[in-house]
Amino acid sequence: MEMSNFTENQMTVRDAIGKICDNFPNEYWQEKDRTETDPKELHAALAADGWLGIALPEDFGGAGLGISEATMMLQTITQSGAGMAGAQSIHANVYATQPLAKFGNQEQLSSTIPDIISGKTRVCFGVTEPNTGLDTLRLKTTALKSSDGNSYSVTGQKIWITCAQVAKKMILLARTTPLEEVTKPNEGLSMFCIDLDRNAPGLDMRKIRKMGGNAVDANEVFFDNYQIPANTLIGKEGQGFKIILHGMNAERCLLAGEALGIGYAAIEKAAKYAKERVVFGRPIGQNQSIQHPLAECYMHLEAAKLSTYHAARLYDNSKDDKSITQYAVGVAANAAKYLAAEAAYKACETSVMSHGGMGYAREYDVERYLREIFVPRIAPVSREMIKSFVAEKVLGLPRSY
């Protein structure tokens, strides 16, 4: 990747994270993927050096940097060969904690943030549901307040929850006022930061077997009158969707950076192989049919890189500069996630094909990258929904969904 014009902070992050990731080579990730074991050593190494608090407030032990630096951190992790598995093992600790840091009260912050930064507490993000999918505003999980006001009872089901098996806390989006009783569907949802107490009644979870990123668990999580204290509510009741959007825009920036990292790693591997592999008496990389697709992928990644770091910068600057609207941040973050994921997918596919048969061998890693690059294409929001969002919100076309 061309590194000109990044900030000093971003370059420092890249350098430091790169050094940590050097201890976790491709063989480590091959093994974790094969054995489906949590990469807790990477999580611990990042926590030990304070990196999990990269974008959390300094008052609670964080570094107080922004999503621009966090995106660089996640890109560096995936680019090291860790892929989506490496990123997913920590990224909710960064993006899901953004709304907590912004809207949580002092007591909530002091009781959660230091433990998240130290690595004692891992976090997962509980939004997606099996029966409503991308139609988030219609999610069915309810949190009903008790008559004494001291607790909520949570009932419903979440799906695809990354790291739920290893997380102590979940940032949960649930409905506190029935859909029929609100004027707009984005009202009546609330955000909570809850404990996942596996010994308490009403909580169950089941791992989903999946295509890639097998080192990190993805889960169905079931709540059946699961009791949570009232003080786990973050911000105002009913305002959860607006609050969680703050985490969702950060998540799109991080996912864009993660995709870029895999894309660049795939291209780098392909270029190396194309220089070494000799067929018909010359390196395969001397053929334009190998060179040109790789060069094209590189240029698309570079364009997506600009979009990604533009979105991250807008996200950060919007905190103090009120002329940057959340609409502008949303458009930029969605566009960046889309462009980076598509550019990286093409890069991974081209890399596999440039390797010929060896592209299909686990030893060469690029098949793992290809399996994992589907994640930022699908999640946290699909390509189709981003296009519909841009068509409606930017181009003013009729809403199609």
Ligand X SMILES: Cc1cc2nc3c(=O)[nH]c(=O)nc-3n(C[C@H](O)[C@H](O)[C@H](O)COP(=O)(O)OP(=O)(O)OC[C@H]3O[C@@H](n4cnc5c(N)ncnc54)[C@H](O)[C@@H]3O)c2cc1C
Write out the residues near ligand X by the rule CB under 6 A. Answer: 124-128, 133-134, 160-162, 213, 218, 375, 378-382, 384-385, 388, 401
How many of the other CB atoms lie within 10 Å of CB of 102? 14
Q: Which is nearer to ligand X, 171 or 343 (CB)?
A: 171
**What are the structure tokens assigned to 190, written together?**
């609330």
Rounded to a whole number of angstroms, the minimum distance from the CB of residue 256 to ligand X is 15
Rounded to a whole number of angstroms, the minimum distance from the CB of residue 339 to ligand X is 17
**Do 59 and 235 meet the contact criterion of CB atoms below 8 Å apart?**
no
Q: Which is nearer to ligand X, 139 or 352 (CB)?
A: 139
User: In the chain, how long is the greatest CA-to-CA distance?
Assistant: 81
Q: Which is nearer to ligand X, 224 or 384 (CB)?
A: 384
The β-bridge partners of 169 are: 123, 195
Rounded to a whole number of angstroms, the minimum distance from the CB of residue 247 to ligand X is 11
Query: Exposed, middle or buried by CB within 10 Å (0-12, 13-18, 19+), for 324?
Result: middle
Rounded to a whole number of angstroms, the minimum distance from the CB of residue 116 to ligand X is 16
**Do 291 and 243 meet the contact criterion of CB atoms below 8 Å apart?**
no
Q: Which is nearer to ligand X, 42 or 170 (CB)?
A: 170
146: left (phi over 0), alpha (psi -120 to 50) or beta: beta
Q: Which is nearer to ligand X, 128 or 354 (CB)?
A: 128
Rounded to a whole number of angstroms, the minimum distance from the CB of residue 401 to ligand X is 3
**Residue 269 DSSP SS3:** helix
Rounded to a whole number of angstroms, the minimum distance from the CB of residue 313 to ligand X is 25
**Cα dihedral 207/119/37/17 (nearest 10):** 120
Angle at 376 between CA 30 and CA 33, to 5 degrees: 15
Q: Which is nearer to ligand X, 143 or 290 (CB)?
A: 143
d(CA 380, CA 223): 22
Q: Which amino acid is at 296?
A: E
Q: Which is nearer to ligand X, 126 or 240 (CB)?
A: 126
Rounded to a whole number of angstroms, the minimum distance from the CB of residue 37 to ligand X is 17
The β-bridge partners of 171 are: 125, 193
Q: Which residues of 107-117 are buried (b: 16+ CB within 10 A; e: fewer)?
A: ebbeebbbbbb
d(CA 188, CA 176): 6
Rounded to a whole number of angstroms, the minimum distance from the CB of residue 124 to ligand X is 6
Q: What residue is closest to ligand X based on CB?
A: 133
Q: Which is nearer to ligand X, 32 or 355 (CB)?
A: 32
**What are the structure tokens assigned to 301, written together?**
């990644």
